[in-house]
Amino acid sequence: MEPKRWYKIQNLSSGITDVSIFDEIGIMGVTAQDFLADLPSGRGPLLLHLNSGGGEVFEGLAIYHALRNRGNVTVRVEGVAASIASVIAMAADPGKLEIAKRASMMIHNGFAQQVGDANDMRKMADVLEAQTRNIAGVYADRTGIPADVWTGRMQAETWYIGQQAVDVGLADRVVDVDQDEGFMGVRELPGFHDLRISANTNTRENLADIRAAWLATSITRSAGRARTGDMNRASEIRTA
For 56-67, the pLDDT digits (tens) are 999 999 999 999
The residues with which 9 forms a beta bridge, in sequence order, are: 19
The pTM of the full predicted model, rounded to 2 decimals, is 0.75
Write the DSSP string, 70-93.
H--EEEEEEEEEETHHHHHHTTSP
The residues with which 138 forms a beta bridge, in sequence order, are: none
Q: Half-sphere exposure of 42 toward its Cβ, with a 13 Å CA cutoff?
A: 8
- Do 120 and 114 touch, CB atoms closer than 8 A? yes
What pLDDT score does 1 carry?
59
53 has pLDDT over 80: yes
What pLDDT score does 26 carry?
86
What pLDDT score does 6 carry?
84
What pLDDT score does 182 carry?
54
212 has pLDDT over 80: no
97 has pLDDT over 70: yes
Non-local (6+) Cβ contacts of 193 within 8 A are none
The residues with which 175 forms a beta bridge, in sequence order, are: 100
Confidence of residue 197 (pLDDT cuts 50, 70, 90): very low
Confidence of residue 15 (pLDDT cuts 50, 70, 90): confident
Q: What integer is the mean pLDDT of 80-84?
A: 96
What pLDDT score does 178 carry?
66
Q: Distance between CA atoms of 9 and 18, rounded to whole angstroms?
A: 6
Find the length of the chain. Answer: 240
What pLDDT score does 236 carry?
53
For 121-155, the pLDDT digits (tens) are 999 999 999 999 999 999 999 999 999 999 999 99
pLDDT higher at 3 or 222 = 3
Is the alpha carbon torsion for 43, 25, 153, 165 positive or negative? Answer: positive
Q: Is 18 exposed, middle or buried (0-12, 13-18, 19+ CB in 10 A)?
A: middle
- Do 52 and 21 touch, CB atoms closer than 8 A? yes
Task: Please list the alpha-helical segments (H only) found in the chain.
Answer: 32-38, 57-70, 84-89, 118-143, 147-156, 163-167, 204-228
Domains of the chain (ranges plus CATH)? 7-238 (3.90.226.10)
Secondary structure of residue 44 in the 3-state scheme: coil
